[in-house]
Amino acid sequence: MTATTPAKPADTRGLAGQSVGDTTICSVNQTQLIYRGYEIADLAAHATFEEVAFLLLVGHKPSADELSAFKCELAQLRVLPEQLTRFMQHLAEEAPDAHPMCTLRSAVSVASHFDPDCEDNSPEAGLRKAKRLMAMMPTLIGTHQRALEGKDPITPDPDLSHAANLLYCMTGERPGEIAAKVMDVSLILYAEHDFNASTFTSRVIASTMSDMHSAVCGAIGALKGPLHGGANEAAMEMLAEIMKAVEDGMTADEWMQDAFTTKRKLMGFGHRVYKNGDHRAGILREWGLKYAQEENPSAKKWFDLGDQVQAIMLRDKKIHPNVDYPCGMTYFAMGIPVPQYTPIFVASRVTGWCAHIMEQHANNRIIRPLATYTGEALRNWND
């Protein structure tokens, strides 16, 4: 009889490889990212963010009339309650060093006090709240950024898209066609990603039958981490460090080899699901490079450096970039302050979160997994 070596159990820490529920919203696998039946490259090429948001929140592709009504409703909901505007300005004045994600999380919590549907978890109320949260995000982000710069808030323009308004509310300048398009595509790419850490957080909170605002606050807290949404900020900060080293005489390869030797974690690379490359990364890199070439040629050097670093990672570690890697370069080329990268992620992903919160509320069972205890055996206190 031949002895066999037992198979090494899979590493399931962090629920790796385990399904924890069903959803009709999104499918993520090695080769595709699908929103309600539509593949991400198809959406990035042919849809607008408003169409994608309607698809996620309502459940189907909008007709022309449905889309027109949806956009008109969002335009009306973009203006913040005066108390919320003052709150954002106060935070910028009194806590200017606070991370914008902390400010945004607090703003959503405060916004719940002014939402008449806050405690109503019905499907109808959920959709109304989702639209309000989606519509106000660009205004919240812009109001905070301008307050940090000592500037007055911008009144949203009802004639601009969600993406264009985000840029307008931050800068006070109506963006050009290419800038609005690049931002629109980035929002589409970030809108949804099944049971990622922040979405799962929102579903856990929703499963207690808590309200949508509380669930979104929790999701923002999860997204803030550098291993999740904050990776786009960290990736750009890493590239800036490499750029400085290169300007001081070191090559990108030398910097990378030192990082490998010291086992430094390199941000913007690798993905729990996409082992052969993140489908979104190439799409956003292409649009970001297009923006740099047409609108800000001096920023092309970041994409050249980014391509070098990416090639080294693939050559030496066989690790591909994720979408956060080109996001950092793209937003930097557009002149967006690095601390606002992850709040912009929220302006997109809030649509996916709200879709999941509504789905959880519609067919709920409290999410309560078991834990494997590895502590001390039973013992007596008086021994």
Asked whether 131 and 50 are in contact (CB, 8 A), the reply is no
Residue 60 annotated among the catalytic residues of the structure: no
- Active-site entry in 144, 193, 213, 271: 271
301 φ/ψ angles, rounded to the nearest 5 degrees: -60, -30
Asked whether 66 and 54 are in contact (CB, 8 A), the reply is yes
Residue 324 annotated among the catalytic residues of the structure: yes
**Cα–Cα distances in Å, from 373 out to 3, 8, 12, 47?**
31, 20, 15, 48
Residue 271 annotated among the catalytic residues of the structure: yes
- Active-site entry in 117, 194, 278, 324: 324
User: How many other β-carbons are positioned within 10 Å of the β-carbon of residue 378?
Assistant: 4
Cα distance between the two ends of the chain: 48
- Active-site entry in 99, 120, 157, 228: 228
Known catalytic residues?
Answer: 228, 271, 324
